[in-house]
Structure 1
Amino acid sequence: MKRIFLTGVVWFLISGSLAASVAPSALLRYDLKPEEIKTVCKAAKEKSESDLKTLVDVPVQTRSFDNTPLALENALAQYADEISGPTFLKYVSTDKAVRDAAHDCEVDSEQYAVEVYTREELYSAIKAYVDKGGSLAGEDKKLLEKILLEFKRNGFGLDAEKRAQVKELKKLLIDMELTFGKNINEYKDHLELSRQELEGLPDDFVNRLSITKEGKYIVTLDYPDYFPFMENAKNDMARHDLQFKFDNRCSTTNVRLLEDAISLRYRIAHLLGYSTFAHYVLEDRMAKSPERVSEFLSSARKKLKTKARQELKERLELKAKDMGKDQAKRLDVWQWRYYNNQLKKLRYDVDQEKIKEYFPLEVVSYGMLEVYQKLLGLRYEKEGDPDRWHADVELYRVFDAKTNDLIGHFYMDLFPREGKYKHAAAFTLVKGRRLPDGSYQKPVSSIVANFNKPTADRPSLLTHDEVETLFHEFGHIMHQVLTRAKYGRFSGTSVARDFVEAPSQMLENWVWNKDVLKSLSGHYQDKTKKLPDDLLGRMIKAKNFDSGLRYLRQNFFGAVDLEYHTKPLADTTALYAKLMEEVSLIPMTEGTHPQASFGHLMGGYEAAYYGYMWSEVYSADMFSRFEKEGIMNPELGLLYRKLILEPGRSEDEEEQLKKFLGRAPSDEAFLRSIGVK
């Protein structure tokens, strides 16, 4: 599942200290030992405390924007800079002790943010500046508004006793959320199967599996094993067993954590005067209210269900031929990927294993960078031997193609390993922002993904879905690295959560263009052999053959998340099962607890998962302009860079869209793009 990485409830995306003209390798350390991580994090907090004391001590009569709201912004941004490297190691280090120390630092930093925004002396200082009646405009005005909103959302306006309760509950919630995610990252399990039980899997998949002393093949729950297995394994029981384990990841720890967190969220929302936690969350989002989100999801569901029911019927017909009519009354969760894949092969002669041969990671990456360079007016330059957290990692510099100015850097960490973050995500390591000396801090970001590692006889080969994922995450990287926002809290992908996916979703469309796909392909045995025209045409024709069920599944995730955060409940499993069958048309497997590994619910997307579909409406609308004016139109690409990627949240998201589209956005392009009338 494509996802941008955002931390906790208060802090911005993790950033890191970087002088304007120095390469990240000179200042970001990835070789820290556990004790060094503790020392760095402690020192960062002490520096922040010193900066905040200086702010508080300013006499009322001399308070100004620079020494009060801006001083608060700079102190917290610098603190986030200092803890960037240490906390990032939680997601990429191979050393568990390092990951644990980084986790502790992250918990402490999140809780520190809550403490800062519940301090009476800081609020009084900001209020004293406001009471002087100064006039602000643009990003400065927006900064002050967001600071005041942050204080309000942490209890100012309540009496001291209630504010103290909010603080303690939020700190407890942060610990739960980060522990939930850590449990998922650290979780390990597998199936041990005979060679016969692997029937249907391609030889290259089988050949890279580990084998036990008893001759059994080990299939893990990691994505490079899970997805190919669920799509290709003929053995229905084997698929059931792997899915059962997959949907029970962390069930013994995380179900309780989630339910306790939901309860805490309700208490926090009610203390702060909100009807539900969803009302609290959505106050600062484009949607503004859960009622509007519910209407959006309900309306989309009605439009999707006719197509989805027809798709379900077709897959059940295929299952009936395979297993008999008496076994084809429903499509179970361990069957839908398999029959989806088989139907695609039958109807369109599209075999993902064959397609993979034309998408070596090295060729795709090179082609992708070429596309982004031409479209956005950039030049990328790979560094030879940078400091990095693992030998697999690559580092690139980003330059403006016209001025040759250095803009920022990005890392690519694309292969799985022990203890690594298990999904695909874009991490901000250094936020672009204006520093106190007036210079602009160069942004640094990293893609963290889990594609198949090269083997002795084959390079890393990507499915078309994985090519799309890479384009998506790199879209986030460009949003982060190309930012020109003045302040860290508005930098890059620090936009409203229900807009954050739109810029990168828009860029996914390039991997459905015939000419672009040709440029991204090259058979692993002979790179001059591009994806054949007939296969390419069938792939594009098959784009929407499962869009009904696929988008209903996304709709379900948004619906269950919203229900969790708008209605008090004691049993997250029962509600998950009820809504999964009602909305997605595919039932949850009895005895499983998929919500225990639904990381978004505790990773910044709580009451906000709807944002994936919400954003896609905007992304399709933006892409409609490229369809009309040219998919590789460099002038339009530069306009997209200037109006959508550079502002971050320094401008309201709807205004950005109106400027780029020349009108208010609509859902017509989205529905057309997924084949729904």
Structure 2
Amino acid sequence: MNSSMAPAPYRKPPQLPPRFTATPASLVDDTKRLIERSRKVQDDIVASVKPEQANFENVVLPVARDDNKMAIESHIIGFYQAVSTDKALRDASTEAEKLLDDFGIESSMREDVFNLLDAVLKKKESLQPESQRLLEKDHKSYIRNGLSIPAGGKRDRFKEIKKRLSEISIKFQKNLNEEQGGLWFTPEQLDGVPEDLVSSLKKGDSENEGKVWLTFKYPDLFPTLKYATHAETRKQVFIANENKCNDNVPLFREAILLRDEAARLLGYNNHAEFRIEDKMAKLPKTVDDFLGDLRTRLAPGGKQEIAKLLELKQQDLKDRGVNDGTEEKYFLWDHRYYDRLLLEKEYSLDHQIIAEYFPLQTTIQGMLKIFEELFGLVFVEIVGEDRAELADGGKASDIVWHEDVQVFSVWDDEGEGSGFVGYLYLDLFPRDGKYGHAANFNLQPGYIDENGKRRYPATALVCNFSKPTPKKPSLLKHDEVVTLFHELGHGIHDLVSRTTYSRFHGTNTVRDFVEAPSQMLENWCWTPSQLRSLSHHYSYLSSDYEAAYKESSGSDKKPSERIPNSLIANLISTKHVNDALFNLRQLHFGMFDMTVHEPKSHEAVEKLDITTTYNKLRKEISQLDGPEVLGGDWTWGNGQATFGHLIGGYDAGYYGYLSSQVYSTDMFYSVFKEDPMNGKEGRRYRHTVLERGGSQEEMAILEEFLGRKPSTEAFYKELGISK
């Protein structure tokens, strides 16, 4: 609902929202101030506490409280680089993040603080479980940061590696965010691509007269790969997209080498062993076995799917009288095109028509309503006067970072006690320099402050959906509806979390669990009753849209307001079409990730040709042909250079998308499948799983919710490959 219409108790949040008024200079100054404060906290502890007096309260707690305060500002300082339209502000945010990272490395290697912490651990005080977990995790993280390596040459080298890895990661992501590449095409070359898209592209002049500029951003890239009838166009786009950030190739290789060296300095056999030790999987072998088993089960399905798609391709080439000699090959750039064609032909599924029923704003309203009912929440959009009031003497625009951003105050409903929950922001459209995918960013974590008062979280969804036009609102394809639901799932996890320390807040769980809560919510997008209630044909939004719809459809009748059941049934029947190929693609990412992080020796990783490994593995696992079968070699593209996940925290962890799918399917099947809108179970899920963030062992949380150990049965059943 809208803030001006909200009932009184929901009008006045007890905590003001953050303000986005930074300048390039203030970002760097604030960062230095935060670092100085933190360093002083650590120095004071070391100066005033002797190992024999060290306890949780005088060593661990002051640092945890400083961490809490630090997070309130530092997350936002680093956030500007993902969303600001001002390059100077983005650059300053990047620089500030580097300062924070360097300070983090310096802090994480302070032997004087570690010795006190070690003394606290040996005291074995009886602590609250979350405090005990904090102490153990902190202690372990010092060891993982090199404090078990004797001081001197080796430890200095380890520290140097950590610093360089942090630089690489920031530079790699910046190259991806600021990537401006694209290709010039004539409208004929883009034959088949939706007119809406082609007409919105930048027009060329002089030598590019009569051409349009197609970028590699998702709203340009995916429709072209799905709809362009000329295989040559799709091939050019596909190969160019795999080469769009070749500056990242040497950075990727350097990161892999440095990670391996660092892991060996710490006494691990490889980086994967180091990374997986504190995840749910614990051992690389567990991961390799899981991925291997999945691959064995999926491979036959992949073969069958390709055979069927190849038949469709042969028919299509014949119908169009194309004779280019590729009728025996099924290429990487064929897949999105024939996958779509198959859905249209066999299931008469037209994604453009389905999208008409999911205008962005009504879909979001519908989603928030689902979360309200399931979890006992209330979302109030903050607009107009209320924005100015919350800016606390500033301008209304201070509480958002861009005019397109929507902001909501989130509350518990009466049944949950009507308390304030936090702030939710939605930043939904592409802009230059903006983060290019869909993600949830925590802006401020929640925690309990030193006076025992709760500090409330703020979280942002950053997405790239097409902008509305005078003739059409922003319309979501079904897979975008799923993405929005997924990211909102992370957002809700972030909002309803109730932890003592910011360190464990919300999505701060281990990486092979963090996706499970949001993946579970994706199931609502495949449930007929939910899809129907989310839908709202755009011609009902305004008389202008109605007129535009009638004109473009050539029909004088309005469609039904809700999506017809027959269309839903069609859509749902396609959920697992070409699923084996989709999951084999995920497996390629996961197995490539393990391959580069699990070498036999450091020499082996030095000799590894990463590009060839990436492309060969893709061919072996996904079974799709690349340009190498046309007489080229294996170095035609550098997909790893565009793979931000492996540099940004999912290293030796990409398998987590698949393993958390096991957990999420298990939770959905055993608790929600019968009745997805069961509010009693929704609230139990909120309090048992989401609320705890990472404050308990994730496996224990999962077992408590399921009432047993998790099993892969539901996952394999859902994929239709159970034994």
Instruction: Give the alignment's TM-score, normalised by structure 1.
Output: 0.94
1:602 and 2:647 aligned:
yes
Q: Deviation at 1:20?
A: 9.2
Matched, 1:333 2:347: no
Q: Confirm or deny: 8 A CA contact 1:202 1:353 kept in the other structure.
A: no
For 2:621, give the aligned amino acid. Answer: V
SS at match of 1:154: helix
Indicate whether 1:578 and 2:621 are aligned. Answer: no
Structure 1 residue 272 displacement after superposition: 0.4
Contact 2:271 2:597 in 1 (8 A): yes
Contact 1:230–1:239 (CA under 8 A) maintained in structure 2: yes
Query: Does residue 211 of the first structure (1) align with residue 203 of the second (2)?
Result: yes
TM alignment of 1:490-529, pairs within 5 A: 490-526=504-540, 529=561
Aligned equivalent of 1:21, options 14, 17, 20: 14
Counterpart residue number, 1:11: none
Q: Helix, strand or coil: the match of 1:197?
A: coil
Choose which of 247, 250, 253 in structure 1 pairs with 2:245: 250
Report the Cα offset of residue 628 of structure 1: 4.9
2:64 maps to amino acid: E
Q: 1:230 aligned to 220, 225, 228, which one?
A: 225
Conserved in 1, the CA contact under 8 Å of 2:672 and 2:678? no
The alpha carbon displacement at 1:627 in A equals 4.0
Check if 1:239 corresponds to 2:271: no
Q: Is the 8 A contact 1:77 1:488 kept in 2?
A: yes
Which residue in the other structure is 1:32 paired with?
A: 22
What letter is aligned with 1:580? R
- 1:56 aligned partner: 46
Deviation at 1:64, TM superposition (A): 2.6
CA distance in 1, matches of 2:173, 2:257: 18
1:208–1:455 CA contact under 8 A, matched in 2:
no
Match of 2:598 in 1: 566
What amino acid does structure 2 have at the position aligned with 1:88?
Answer: F
* Shift, 1:78, TM fit: 2.2
Measured in 1, the distance between the counterparts of 2:16 and 2:330 equals 53
Q: Provide Cα deviations, 1:363-392, integer angstroms capped at 9, x if missing partner.
A: 111110111110111100011144211111
Q: Alpha carbons of 1:20 and 1:131: their partners in 2 closer, same or farther (altered >3 Å)? A: farther
Unpaired segments ≥5 residues, structure 1 = 1-18
Task: Give the deviation of 1:63 after TM superposition.
Answer: 2.9
Query: Structure 1 residue 128: deviation in Å?
Result: 2.9
Q: Find the aligned partners of 2:27 and 2:676 in 1 and give their Cα distance.
A: 46
Aligned match of 2:173 in 181, 190, 193? Answer: 181
Q: Which structure: larger Rg?
A: 2
Alignment of 1:101-120 (within 5 A): 101-120=92-111
Structure 1: distance between partners of 2:112 and 2:13: 33
Give the conservation status (yes or no) of the 8 Å contact 1:259–1:571. Answer: no
Confirm whether residue 476 of structure 1 aligns to residue 501 of structure 2: no
Query: Residue 236 of structure 1 aligns to which amino acid in structure 2?
Result: A
Structure 2 partner of 1:554: 586
Q: Does 1:125 align with 2:116?
A: yes
Q: Is 1:66 matched with 2:57?
A: yes
SS of equivalent residue, structure 1 residue 462:
coil
2:146 and 2:638 map into 1 onto residues whose CA distance is: 34
Partner of 1:10: none
Matched-pair contact (CA < 8 Å) for 2:71–2:444: no
Name the residue aligned to 1:8: none
1:311 and 1:268 map into 2 onto residues whose CA distance is 42
Amino acid at match of 1:540: I
Contact 1:20 1:439 in 2 (8 A): no
CA distance in 2, matches of 1:136, 1:164: 35
SS at match of 2:695: coil
Deviation, structure 1 residue 519 = 1.1
In structure 2, what is the Cα distance between the partners aligned to 1:507 and 1:112?
Answer: 37
For the 8 Å contact 2:672–2:681, the answer to whether it is kept is: no
In the alignment, structure 1 residue 197 sits paired with structure 2 residue 229: no
Partner of 1:6: none
1:3-14 correspondence runs (5 A)? none
| Aligned residue in 1 for 2:144 | 153
2: CA distance, partners of 1:603 / 1:59: 37
Shift of 1:165: 1.9
Q: Distance in 2 between matches of 1:236 and 1:645?
A: 46
How big is the shift at 1:414?
A: 0.6
- Alpha-carbon offset, residue 115 of structure 1: 0.9
Letter in 2 for 1:311: E
Check the 8 A contact 1:117/1:151 in 2, yes or no.
yes
Deviation at 1:111, TM superposition (A): 1.8
Deviation at 1:535, TM superposition (A): 1.0
1:642 aligns with 2:687: yes
1:90 is matched by which residue type in structure 2? Q
Higher alpha-carbon deviation: 520-529 or 286-295: 520-529
Q: CA deviation at 1:351?
A: 0.9
> Match for residue 366 of structure 1?
365
Number of the residue aligned with 2:408: 396
**Secondary structure, counterpart of 2:147 in structure 1:** coil
What is the CA-CA distance between 1:588 and the residue it aligns to? 4.0
Supply the AA of the counterpart residue of 1:599.
Answer: G
Other-structure match for 1:615: 660
Could you tell me whether the CA contact under 8 Å between 1:29 and 1:85 is conserved in 2? Answer: no
1:543 aligns with 2:538: no
Secondary structure of 1:66 counterpart: helix
SS in 2 for 1:187: coil
Residue 670 (structure 2) aligns with: 625
The 8 Å contact of residues 67 and 502 in structure 2, kept in 1 or not, is answered as no
Contact 1:416 1:451 in 2 (8 A): yes
Instruction: Give the match for residue 463 of structure 1.
Output: 477
CA distance in 2, matches of 1:302, 1:627: 29
SS of 2:56 mapped into structure 1: coil
Q: Could you tell which deviates more after superposition, 57-66 or 97-106?
A: 57-66
Measured in 2, the distance between the counterparts of 1:118 and 1:416 equals 40
Displacement of 1:85 after TM fit? Answer: 1.9
Change (3 A) 1:634 1:190: same
Question: CA–CA distance in 2 between the matches of 1:362 and 1:408?
Answer: 21
Q: In the alignment, residue 448 of structure 1 is paired with which amino acid?
A: V
Post-superposition CA distance 1:20-75 (Å, at most 9, x none): 93221xxx332322111111111111111121122212332543312211222222
Q: Does the aligned pair in 2 maintain the 1:58–1:67 contact within 8 Å? A: no
- Partner residue of 1:80? 71
Q: Distance between the aligned counterparts of 2:513 and 2:458, measured in 1?
A: 21
Q: SS of 1:294's equivalent?
A: helix
Contact 2:73 2:444 in 1 (8 A): no
* AA at the equivalent of 1:282: I
CA spacing shift, 1:599–1:174, aligned 2, 3 Å: same
Contact 2:189 2:233 (C-alpha < 8 Å) held by counterparts: yes
* 1:395 counterpart SS class: strand
Distance of 2:446 and 2:93 partners within structure 1: 23
Coordinate RMSD, CA, aligned: 1.6
CA distance in 2, matches of 1:364, 1:493: 24
Cα separation, 2, equivalents of 1:532 and 1:197:
35
How far apart, in 2, do the equivalents of 1:278 and 1:589 lie?
31
CA contact (8 A) 2:13 2:420 kept: no
Shift of 1:231: 0.6
Separation (CA, whole Å) in 2 of partners of 1:471 and 1:558: 24
* Cα distance in 2, alignment partners of residues 363 and 356 from structure 1: 12
Alpha-carbon deviation of 1:314? 0.8
Distance across 1 between alignment mates of 2:674 and 2:449: 38
Which of 393, 418, 426 does residue 440 from structure 2 map onto? Answer: 426
Q: Distance in 2 between matches of 1:539 and 1:363?
A: 20
Alignment partner of 1:260 is 2:254: yes
By how many angstroms is 1:361 displaced?
Answer: 0.4
Q: Offset of 1:675 from its aligned partner? A: 2.5
The 3-state SS of whatever aligns with 2:422 is strand
Deviation at residue 254 of structure 1 after TM alignment: 0.5
The answer on whether the counterparts of 2:13 and 2:409 sit within 8 Å (CA) in structure 1 is no
